[in-house]
Amino acid sequence: MTDQLDIGSLLFIAYRAMGDRVFAAITEAGYDDVTMAQFKLLQRINADGTRLSELAEATQVTKQTAGYLVDQLEAGGYVERGPDPTDARARLIRQTGKAQAIHPIAVAAIAEIEAEWTAHLGKRRMDQLRDGLARLREITDPYLGR
């Protein structure tokens, strides 16, 4: 058995560290009524709105769990439900202004984290990492181009 972690584990550790720090920044900014699970779902709502079934798939939870999270976000004023103009039977979940106010906080936290990682790895390695991951996305991201 080797003491080296596989690439998936290494990617997950970095992803989790970034997610935790972004979530902490949002909480510190006063959005302390959102859970990590709600935040992950909130991130996946498209600008034009997203169907509940798509949110469940994107966050890898059941439709019932996604519905529960959306109910909580709606009660907190972060999302609203409305008609889907392409299907009268369907409903779209949209972010409210309150949810959209979180975006610049998250962007600033990500920029800070990436600057730290660049300082640690060096610009060349960070650029290579970004390029390699972007290229892997071409064959791993089922949502690319949606």
Domain boundaries along the sequence of the chain: 1-31+102-138, 33-97
Output the CA–CA distances (angstroms, integers) from residue 17 to 5, 45, 71, 116, 137, in the order listed: 16, 22, 27, 12, 20
Under a CB-based contact definition with an 8 Å cutoff, are residues 73 and 79 in contact? yes
- Which pLDDT belongs to residue 18? 97
> Tokens representing 35?
């859970």
Within its chain, how far is the Cα of 44 from the centroid? 6
Closest CA to 91 of 62, 65, 71: 71
Do you know the residue count of the chain?
146
- Which pLDDT belongs to residue 1? 46
Predicted TM-score of the model (pTM): 0.85
Mean pLDDT by 10 residues, the chain (146 residues): 83 96 97 94 94 93 97 97 90 97 97 98 98 95 76
- Which pLDDT belongs to residue 146? 62
CATH topology of domain 33-97: Arc Repressor Mutant, subunit A (1.10.10)
- Which pLDDT belongs to residue 141? 87
